[in-house]
Structure 1
């Protein structure tokens, strides 16, 4: 069965059983404390019954026996309170440890998912699953499992004590249990869909907020604040309506229904006790103990039913976490742990993001180690897809990709990530230091980081910062210009000394000065590493050994800049001339 089609609760119970089994020693301690606390709790009314029937109604109050009963009663209540405190600590410890482990595993799993998953996933929804939904699982431990176990054991203890006192009255009290089970069943049937809707809508609210904040500059520039606010209000209203449905159902079926049933049970007990009094077989102490027990008997039932609201939410949340954790991860090979040279070969490769829209058809390429290859073409021609396949972000639909003669599928993840460096069009900057952003947690030496910064021509920037490489950059690198962020990403890619360097439109959003910096870096690396440079600005790849011109997923032209410019009707020549004309117009406008 696919994870997305699990019966409700199955995934949650799987997670729950895993962690209960893992922490079984802690669970045994918690249950032992629970049993001792229940025994101490139940002892109180029994001691009161002995005092009333054997001493108070008998008209004799000897000091030491009565004092002993009173001391035992107080000791039992103090012991019950302390034992319940310790038991609650144990359950909470289990819950927090489980949530800690689940969150770490979920995040680690998300990082291993294929890029195809992120093509359709929304950031806000993923964040909601890792944070809100795992928190709901903690509530399942603390607010539901702990409360239900505690109250079930307390119910069993009370029933046993009632049976010891008066079997007939105990049977009347037991009628409450099937009635309460019917209320719980009805609540689950009526509230399940509303709870699932509210969890889904909360994820959508998180996603909407995340998207709006990330694109705030665009929203304000386009004057779309009102439209965004209206969309958010609609989501909020739907979430409000779903939550109100669950609250109304709970308000009608949980506490009020239990209170009504407990009053009816109490009337039944008083009726039976009255018959026993008439027949001369009842004791006042027994009635006191039963009234005391009934208060404690109905309270656990009410607690259990009230917790079913949390139970429903935890079931939905747990299933969502379970589904995420069972999304298939991307698998890598184990036969090769490093890329020795960096030669690349595409052999009749087919690929499509969607079956009805192929990107590549029988694409064949041969890139020798150390070559500088430029890839150009109009939007949608397959330039970035070429890099995604080389990075093993997506598997080819047909044919084979080879690195140094080995199939790409043979290489381990570490081999690919160490051996292939990527410089994307949109720089991703951590809210850490300059050093952290170049190292990226790879444990590189200070010398490697400094050398990478030098290769990316970052010395001037570093010397101007108050703490050099250790200067914190702020969220998304707000302290850096667009060109400096791109240089930083170049340094990051070069720091691990890759054998293959991929640039995806690295100069599309930078000024001419930064483009020259990139070109100098490429020139310095020429012959040392294999470079595949996707470029919108053709001047970036004009010095390439070979330029590949892509159109609709096919290689339509190939050659050096001079060879392609010599083709009278060539695509590259037309693209280059258009860009040169556009540049000349821009310069003329500046001069004017």
Structure 2
């Protein structure tokens, strides 16, 4: 499909303001909860492992406290009780390590399964989006959303959700153990929690916009790379490498500054702040312990256990705060994925009727890509079944738009289009895509085999594949290759010539046996020999299939039953080649003569 009639817009950017960052997350949490609920049995098992690991973890300091107070300080060092306590301590720590290992595996399993499912759904969703979406989207940014942003959601599972759940449960277990030992010391330790919550809140407020900026800039970098690499021939031919490099450098520098803002905020507010607060709380615990020791109401083993617990108490809080950097990135990435999945899909009708004949009619059709720039106004057109219709006109005349509307890529603003007397909008997706074939100007070739490129996953019989190749006059070329239909073509069909790639695309379209075949400038970039091959294929299909051929080379459509000459979205002339050539002041006559003169000049230069 050419884009001569389709306006290109800048890619949509995600809002990166602090206000947006504060409001976002509802979609991300909804996406997350969907997969958490789906994996509920696995989550329950993971939480059970987590509870057992926490119990085993906090049991160690309690056993150490019993050993210090009841045996070591009491001078009762009997062999078997001491050996039992030591063995219990070792076993609880080994059990805690093994249970946390199993729990980590479960969380990772959940995360990878979620990412697998999200990527599958988002790619399926993107394939169902209307063409209007792709008019303004950049390939690199879409790839970034499907790959990088979904990977960030995995981090939300493994690096954030897993860490937060693990450490919250561990904190609860430690607090309960502290309360069993000494309530007053436990209350002093609890002062650390509200201060940490305040640090986290402050971090989110300060870093939200920077994180959103960095995600968007990474997407822009991917988009710029994809655009530059795909257009490398043009960049080198025009000597624009320096300009492209400067543009990339500006984006890269902005991304660097955004990431450094995030890192600086995290470096100031996360681990250093938690360490400082934990030292202050530890001083408070020592002060209260000293007071209790003077009054003779506390044991030394309790202090040991508390110091041990405080080390474990501080670490989960530090872990949680450090993970909020990943949390911010994952929330922004999840929001971008959620926004993409909320894009409305292409709508099709519910009718299962197939296109039997291929008669087309435009009844007072109005259409424009923008409301203030109409392309068609009250377009009326009748195309009988089996007719060969040529469409010509200068750039921007509405030729490709005519095909886009027939393919239901865009909805009309007014009037209606019918096929075999039924509204185009009423046909189901399967009926429409099987009944209408498209041969674009730029061949889309997979890096697979010739057979794969003709079949395109439709599981067509081999006989139909061979028939389509014969109709496209490509069968002799295929049989001349060492591996025939199994020949691998490489990226973009590099093993075939330009003309052969176009013939391959024609065979692909014919393999589905469509009732309507659309050619969009299919001979614009091929040589005269390949053009003659296309003409022979069209003549063979003439009368069997409704042919609508948008042509730059007027020689391609000389044999058409009717030629439509379009200008500024209006049908200016209509008739056969002979009829249009008989009009002295006609547009078609002028275009044809101009091409003939250009061809004569080209032939003269060759000789």
- 1:292-316 superposed Cα distances (whole Å, 9 cap, x missing partner): 0000000000000000000000000
- 1:417-439 superposed Cα distances (whole Å, 9 cap, x missing partner): 11100000011111111111111
2:359 to 339, 343, 367: 343
By how many angstroms is 1:337 displaced?
Answer: 3.5
2:61 to 37, 42, 45: 45
Q: Does 1:83 align with 2:95?
A: no
By how many angstroms is 1:588 displaced?
Answer: 1.2
| 1:304-315 correspondence to structure 2 within 5 Å | 304-315=320-331
By how many angstroms is 1:460 displaced?
Answer: 2.8
By how many angstroms is 1:266 displaced?
Answer: 0.5
* CA contact 1:337–1:414 (8 Å) conserved in 2: no
Structure 2 unaligned spans of 5+? 1-13
Q: Does 1:19 align with 2:28?
A: no
By how many angstroms is 1:338 displaced?
Answer: 1.1
Q: What CA distance in whole angstroms lies between the structure 1 residues aligned with 2:214 and 2:318? A: 24
Q: What CA distance in whole angstroms lies between the structure 1 residues aligned with 2:218 and 2:49? A: 37
2:139 to 115, 123, 126: 123
**Structure 2 counterpart SS, 1:27:** helix
* CA contact 1:505–1:533 (8 Å) conserved in 2: yes
Using the size of structure 2 for normalisation, the TM-score is: 0.96
Q: Does 1:33 align with 2:54?
A: no
By how many angstroms is 1:567 displaced?
Answer: 1.1
Q: What CA distance in whole angstroms lies between the structure 2 residues aligned with 1:216 and 1:480? A: 21
- 1:298-347 superposed Cα distances (whole Å, 9 cap, x missing partner): 00000000000000000000000000000000110012331011000000
Moved more, 556-565 or 515-524: 556-565
1:247 to 250, 258, 263: 263
* Aligned twin of 1:330: 346
Aligned length: 589
- 1:472-506 superposed Cα distances (whole Å, 9 cap, x missing partner): 10111111111111111100110000000000000
Q: Does 1:585 align with 2:606?
A: no
1:483 to 483, 499, 502: 499
Q: Which runs of 4+ in 1 moved over 6 A?
A: 3-6
* Aligned twin of 1:59: 75
For the aligned residue pairs, the C-alpha RMSD in angstroms reads 1.0
* Aligned twin of 1:73: 89
| 1:470-509 correspondence to structure 2 within 5 Å | 470-509=486-525
* CA contact 1:343–1:367 (8 Å) conserved in 2: yes
| 1:140-289 correspondence to structure 2 within 5 Å | 140-289=156-305
Q: What CA distance in whole angstroms lies between the structure 2 residues aligned with 1:588 and 1:70? A: 101
**Structure 2 counterpart SS, 1:307:** helix
Moved more, 540-549 or 327-336: 327-336
By how many angstroms is 1:71 displaced?
Answer: 1.0
By how many angstroms is 1:464 displaced?
Answer: 2.6
Q: What CA distance in whole angstroms lies between the structure 1 residues aligned with 2:486 and 2:493? A: 14
By how many angstroms is 1:8 displaced?
Answer: 1.3
Q: What CA distance in whole angstroms lies between the structure 1 residues aligned with 2:442 and 2:365? A: 27
* CA contact 1:432–1:474 (8 Å) conserved in 2: yes
By how many angstroms is 1:67 displaced?
Answer: 1.1
Moved more, 108-117 or 573-582: 573-582
| 1:534-549 correspondence to structure 2 within 5 Å | 534-549=550-565
Q: What CA distance in whole angstroms lies between the structure 2 residues aligned with 1:155 and 1:148? A: 10
By how many angstroms is 1:463 displaced?
Answer: 2.2
